[in-house]
Amino acid sequence: MQKRAEIKVYGRVQKAGFRDFIDEIAFNLNLNGFVKNLDDGAVQVVCEGDETAISDLLKKINVTQYPIRVENIDVTYKKPTGKYKTFEIIRDEDLTTATYERMDVAARYIREMNSNLCQKMDSIGGKIDILGGKMDSLGGKMDLLGGKIDVLGGKIDSLGEKIEVFGGKVDSFGGKIDSLGNKIDLARVEITSEIRISRESLRSHLDNRISTIERELAFIKSKVIS
């Protein structure tokens, strides 16, 4: 619903950049009308627009933010006229007063920028601290991993030494097997030699016995024939 609001704001509201503050809010809320200083020290706002937007304007201008301090707000609602096409600041004071007020507005913006910047720097600092903590934690994990790798390397070296010792024992065992094989070969040669000698001795003995038997048979034969 469209409405017209006639507002009077009391407090420390003149020569503090308050009109520029209201002008910015009205612009963002798409309200039309004007704002001006009154002779009694109050600030007058006349605006037309959506009822919700006017309600938001009243909430936003009720501030205590150096150098502005709002103490009271009076509002009268009427039917909109549609005569305002924009929102403007009416400056009817002398040029010097207007210049000082514009300087106050600039100072307020600078303070707000510094405050926002400090908050962002604090936020960035907090994030850097968190990142630093994560880096420290990561460094600790890397050190722990390095220690585990060193332990694993030591175990691998120990295993390698055990493998070398086992290899030496295997080589020693192989040498013993080779030695045993040599002894077996030597024994086989000796046994073969002994068997050959025994066979030759047996053959010689049999030959002698056969010759003796043949001589005895011949003698017997000669006696029988005679």
Token pair for 47: 């605006």
**Buried b / exposed e along 195-206 (16+ C-beta atoms within 10 A):** eeeeeeeeeeee
User: What are the φ and ψ backbone dihedral angles of 61, each rounded to 5 degrees?
Assistant: -90, -10
Mean pLDDT over 135-154 rounds to 75
Q: Is the pLDDT of residue 11 over 90?
A: yes
| Average pLDDT of the segment spanning 164-183 | 66
| pLDDT number for residue 41 | 95
Which carries the bigger pLDDT value, residue 158 or residue 46?
Answer: 46
Q: What is the pLDDT of residues 12-45, one digit of tens each?
A: 999 889 999 999 999 999 999 999 999 999 999 9
What is the predicted pLDDT for the residue at 183?
74
Residue range 54-99, pLDDT digits in tens:
999 999 999 999 899 999 999 999 999 999 999 999 987 655 666 6
CATH architecture of 2-92: 2-Layer Sandwich (3.30)
CA-CA distance, 219 to 86, in Å (whole number)? 170
Catalytic site positions: 19, 37
Type and span of the H or E element at 87: strand 87-90
The bridge status of strand 87-90 relative to strand 32-37 is: parallel
Distance CA 183, CA 175 (A): 12
Which residue matches tokens 């605006």?
Answer: 47
- Facing residues of 72 across strands? 10
- For 151-166, the pLDDT digits (tens) are 777 776 776 777 676 5
pLDDT at 216: 77
> Over the chain, what is the mean pLDDT?
81
> Is residue 180 predicted with pLDDT exceeding 70?
no
Give the residue-averaged pLDDT of 167-195.
67
Percentage, residues of the chain above pLDDT 70: 73
The model carries a pTM of 0.49
CA pair distance 29, 195, nearest whole angstrom: 127
